[in-house]
Structure 1
Amino acid sequence: MMNSHAHPCGRGAGMTTEGRTFFGHPRGLATLFGTEMWERFSWYGLRAILATFLAASPAHQGLGMSEQTAQAVVGVYGALIYLVALPGGWIADRILGARRSVFWGGFVIMCGHISMAVPVSSGAFVWLGLLLIIAGTGLLKPNISVMVGKLYPEDDDGRRDAGFSLFYLGINLGAFFAPLVVGWLARDDRWHLGFGAAAVGMALGLLQYVLGRRHLRGVGDRPGMPLTPRERGRVIRLVSVVTAAVASALGAWAATGALTLDRFTVVVTVVILAVPVGYFAYILFGSHDLTEDERSRMKAYIWLFVAAAIFWMVYDLAPSKLLFFAQNDTDLTLFGVRIQPATTQSFNPLFIMIFVPVFAALWVRLGTRVSTPQKFAFALVMVGLSFVVMAAAASLAETGKVSVWWLVLVYLVQVFGELSLSPVGLSVTTKLAPRAFKGQMLGIWFIAVSVGDAVGGQTGRLSQVMSEPAYYLLLAAMAIVAGLALFLFTRRLRAMMSEHHVPAEPPIR
């Protein structure tokens, strides 16, 4: 977490009238901390068992997909979660306001988990549940972070940074405990009990949010730029037309008999890939009166965006490919205790909580001697090396199950990469964005995660034509080569970026 000197308690924007604080911060931070912690509990709890549930046979209460199809579904699901943050932020800004967006987002998420917890053999409730969770997360996730920032006076940057550090701690606490609890409850094919625990987690978050609403002191009560009646009419017509067009296209596709889950995930992946391509083309080739400096910075950012997408492509295989490895090829004994496959998903947030302060201090010490491209390059090399380790583990697993400590090492190396890339992602996005696109560009960073997740999900198909060690080595080579290329072109990119210093922030996922 970032170091920051907390000011003594006192009145100011966001402070409660009764003077009570949360570790020296506005009392409303406790409300948002708890809400986000439980929302992340529900998200990471579901994520820790989703792929294995999808791939489990109907005899084991699963949906009976191949592991490759399950990996593609989990990839597209994760990709859409990050993609819908863009319309979710717009809805809060123009229609609902952040406070109501967070409440209704949490409520829809809870309904999604309840749908998945319905113990029936049909997949209809599963797909409905995932759709609701995607929609709800789009409303909650971007807007709760906005509310944290608004708890503080505009000129109180130090305490705001420290407040976000506490907030990110809540994220990682939820991410750490969720796989332990949900994985234990879902053992022996009790998947729906695990999904139910995720629903209870979101319900607890909603309860805390409602009970602590008075501490928010009006933050996010109203949209910043509410739609005019004319604009509202245009939006309703546009949404209606797009919805009808998508429904008609899917209906026609289904009528041909060619619609399959695998093909659907491929189409969604292509659409997600088209989003940043179209957006960057719109910025660079549209008539926005960009200065030469802004155009140069934007071109540099595209390279960083691609690097980030490659990183997330490998890194976010944890809840699919690495989870299957834990289930099928790993001796799940840790310190003499038998653990569930889902428990391995707790290694990552545990290491993040341990090493965030270490890396924060390291970046402060190194200062401008390490540039943003170099941090991204190091991250790519680290995530690549983690899959070199996976290739070795997969090779050993061909003759019998391997120790779970292989996965511990993989996640440790990956966290070193994440803490080199994720903390500066939003900062560099803001720094390199053209003046006319400052607000919109913040969502582009999350589209890099979306692209990486979607493409990573499709890489599972490579397992049908190559061995497991070769699969891991191929992805490792892609990441390492991309990292080395960034190292080679660091001086050029820094010149394009006019980089001097990019402050690091704690990572948010």
Structure 2
Amino acid sequence: MALDHTEGNGPLPRQIPYIIANEAAERFSFYGMRNILTPFLISTLLLFVPMEDRTGEAKHVFHTFVIGAYFTPLLGGFLADRFFGKYKTIFWLSLFYVLGHACLAVFEDNLNGFYFGLFLIALGAGGIKPLVSAFVGDQFDKTNKNRAKVVYDAFYWCINFGSFFASLLMPLLLKNYGPSVAFGVPGILMAFAVLIFWLGRNKYVHVPPAPPNPDSLTRVARTALLARQPGQGRPGLAVAVLGVVGAVVSLLMSYSWGFVIGACTALVLLLAFGGIGTGMQLERARGKHSDEAVEGVRAVLRVLIVFALVTPFWSLFDQKASTWIVQANAMTSPVLNVFGWEFQVLPAQMQALNPLLVMLLIPFNNLAIFPLLRAIGIEPTALRRMTTGIALSGAAWLVIGWIQLSMDGGTPMSILWQLAPYALLTMAEVLVSATGLEFAYSQAPASMKGSIMAFWTLAVTVGNLWVLIVNASVKNDAVMGHIENSGLSPIAFQMFFFAGFALVTAIVFALYAMRYKMVDNYRGGNGGKPAQVAQ
């Protein structure tokens, strides 16, 4: 059924400003510390590592931290959906978040203390990340659901407002005042974010945790996998068991791969093979579970395929804070004169381009590009936007790879050359990430809002896992031999590899998107069931 645009245009919930202000301050704190993490590791904390290995070790620590920050949403989603609800889970995990920032500021020269701070930030930032997005959606129902897209765009705009100023200021604080101040300021902003969120506590819509559900995703999946049918085997169960075996092997290989790679790969294998196996035998769950429950699981499995296809985008996007900074360190930085003020751009400050462009591109898309597409008969649906975004991320890495080739050839390159790939990658982010928040909430069944948003953030974990795997593979003699025969430097080879990875994924994503049927899972004002909507 096509979406009726004359409905759902009710007033904006008055509690939204508290959530958006909280998110702006929280994102300042997160990106403030994240954007100076790689430079700090290289220049200060990892001085005991040989110079030739220090950059690689810093990238490994950075992407391990990002994996942690986007892995813990599974815990946050579970706690909120089953026990405490979104508000209480967000509030209490935010306190761990504040404590983590304090550890970074205090233990600037203590490796274990600093890493413990990163762990607490990963726990807090990751635990609340899917819940805040879902909490925004909870404030809407079918009477004003059309306002949700505007709020999600404003939500994302404010995230980048905080990130922009953090990207500009934190490198300067690190350079001029040292790490204790540079990591302490984000901690103060996080404490402020918690205060703002608490002040709105009596105005929010509080959706209670879901009671134990006999038709939950895991119970329906277990029934489907274990059910027998006369004269038939259980191929789905065999596939799921294969995933378990692969997960065990991955954990056993953690000694040589590293625990993070081993554990994350194990989880990916369990989810992938378990999901495939469940899909193969899902019809066997009918009778023991309601048709609505079975179809709900089918919908979740289809959403998870979309999420899986987004993971290559994140492997490209998050390297702007590691690989792109490493490249910028080797580029020339001209002195700029803006209205009589002379300044030299620091490599880490280039990341400020990303949130600045986001703040410009979101209104530009909504006011110009999308209306133009509709005028010529092309509806910019969520899946079409995401397809285009994945392709643009690949294009950004083709440009960054060309820059690296020029540098490898001895041509001095200004840091300003990174403007072009930043612009392409930021447009990709707007089309994939901002859209993904809206898509994830709208497609999630009511009892799994927090968990499905956690799966969305898990895509970031898997994307960064690809980075760790590729970086580890480059250390292999056979792979290095192949790279040397290609005539490319290792870093240039990786850049073009990731570009091709994203472009191939964009094609696969487009093919899958053509078959995907969107659903509408916003709260019903009168208890109505989710409706299918035109794609």
Q: Tell me which interval the TM-score lies in, with the shorter structure as reference length.
A: 0.7 to 0.9
Could you tell me which amino acid in structure 2 is paired with residue 311 of structure 1? F
Query: Do structure 1's residue 281 and structure 2's residue 264 form an aligned pair?
Result: no
The match for 1:14 is none
Question: How many angstroms apart in 2 are the aligned matches of 1:480 and 1:330?
Answer: 30
Correspondence 1:439-478 to 2 at 5 A:
440-461=451-472, 464=475, 465=480, 466=483, 467=489, 468-478=491-501
Q: CA deviation at 1:352?
A: 0.9
Q: Is the 8 A contact 1:104 1:139 kept in 2?
A: no
Correspondence 1:39-188 to 2 at 5 A:
39-56=26-43, 66-152=54-140, 155-187=143-175
Equivalent residue in structure 2 for 1:353, among 329, 338, 359 = 359
The match for 2:393 is 383
Could you tell me which amino acid in structure 1 is paired with residue 414 of structure 2? S
Question: How many angstroms apart in 2 are the aligned matches of 1:497 and 1:30?
Answer: 33
Equivalent residue in structure 2 for 1:413, among 395, 408, 424 = 424
Equivalent residue in structure 1 for 2:193, among 192, 198, 205 = 205
Residues 408 and 331 of structure 1, relative CA distance in 2, 3 Å threshold:
same
Equivalent residue in structure 1 for 2:262, among 258, 267, 271 = 267
Query: Do structure 1's residue 224 and structure 2's residue 209 form an aligned pair?
Result: yes
Q: CA deviation at 1:34?
A: 2.0
Q: Is the 8 A contact 2:304 2:455 kept in 1?
A: no
Q: Is the 8 A contact 2:107 2:114 kept in 1?
A: no
Q: Is the 8 A contact 2:100 2:121 kept in 1?
A: yes
Could you tell me which amino acid in structure 2 is paired with residue 325 of structure 1? Q
Q: CA deviation at 1:70?
A: 2.3
Q: CA deviation at 1:323?
A: 1.7
Correspondence 1:191-340 to 2 at 5 A:
191-210=179-198, 212-213=199-200, 216-217=202-203, 219-220=205-206, 223-225=208-210, 263-281=258-276, 283-284=278-279, 285=281, 287-289=284-286, 301=303, 304-331=306-333, 333-335=335-337, 337-340=343-346
Q: Is the 8 A contact 1:51 1:319 kept in 2?
A: yes
Q: Is the 8 A contact 2:153 2:362 kept in 1?
A: no
Question: How many angstroms apart in 1 are the aligned matches of 2:6 and 2:120?
Answer: 38
Residues 437 and 180 of structure 1, relative CA distance in 2, 3 Å threshold:
closer
Residues 207 and 376 of structure 1, relative CA distance in 2, 3 Å threshold:
closer
Could you tell me which amino acid in structure 2 is paired with residue 183 of structure 1? P
Question: How many angstroms apart in 2 are the aligned matches of 1:434 and 1:8?
Answer: 23
Provide the aligned C-alpha RMSD in A.
4.0
Question: How many angstroms apart in 1 are the aligned matches of 2:353 and 2:444?
Answer: 34
Q: CA deviation at 1:318?
A: 1.2
Q: CA deviation at 1:48?
A: 0.2
Q: Is the 8 A contact 1:304 1:376 kept in 2?
A: no
Question: How many angstroms apart in 1 are the aligned matches of 2:354 and 2:317?
Answer: 10
The match for 2:231 is none
Q: CA deviation at 1:142?
A: 2.5
Q: Is the 8 A contact 1:374 1:486 kept in 2?
A: no
Could you tell me which amino acid in structure 2 is paired with residue 308 of structure 1? V
Question: How many angstroms apart in 2 are the aligned matches of 1:377 and 1:437?
Answer: 25
CA displacement, residues 51-109 of structure 1 (integer Å, 9 cap, x when unaligned): 22223355869998632232233223222222222221221233333222222222111
The match for 1:238 is none
Question: How many angstroms apart in 2 are the aligned matches of 1:4 and 1:342?
Answer: 46
Q: Is the 8 A contact 2:28 2:165 kept in 1?
A: yes
Question: How many angstroms apart in 2 are the aligned matches of 1:296 and 1:139?
Answer: 26
Question: How many angstroms apart in 2 are the aligned matches of 1:103 and 1:372?
Answer: 31
Q: CA deviation at 1:462?
A: 5.4
Could you tell me which amino acid in structure 2 is paired with residue 276 of structure 1? L
Any idea what SS the aligned residue of 1:402 has? coil
Could you tell me which amino acid in structure 2 is paired with residue 381 of structure 1? A
Q: CA deviation at 1:45?
A: 0.8
TM-score in terms of structure 1 length: 0.76
Question: How many angstroms apart in 2 are the aligned matches of 1:369 and 1:213?
Answer: 37
Which piece of structure 1 moves more, 358-367 or 432-441? Answer: 432-441
CA displacement, residues 15-36 of structure 1 (integer Å, 9 cap, x when unaligned): xxxxxxxxx751x323222221
The match for 2:407 is 397
Q: Is the 8 A contact 1:97 1:224 kept in 2?
A: yes
Q: CA deviation at 1:279?
A: 4.9
Could you tell me which amino acid in structure 1 is paired with residue 395 of structure 2? L
CA displacement, residues 356-390 of structure 1 (integer Å, 9 cap, x when unaligned): 12223433553555566544432232111111111
Question: How many angstroms apart in 1 are the aligned matches of 2:267 and 2:518?
Answer: 30
Query: Do structure 1's residue 494 and structure 2's residue 489 form an aligned pair?
Result: no
Q: CA deviation at 1:472?
A: 1.0
Structure 2 unaligned runs (5+)? Answer: 214-247, 484-488, 520-531
Q: Is the 8 A contact 2:9 2:147 kept in 1?
A: yes
Could you tell me which amino acid in structure 2 is paired with residue 478 of structure 1? F
Could you tell me which amino acid in structure 1 is paired with residue 133 of structure 2? S
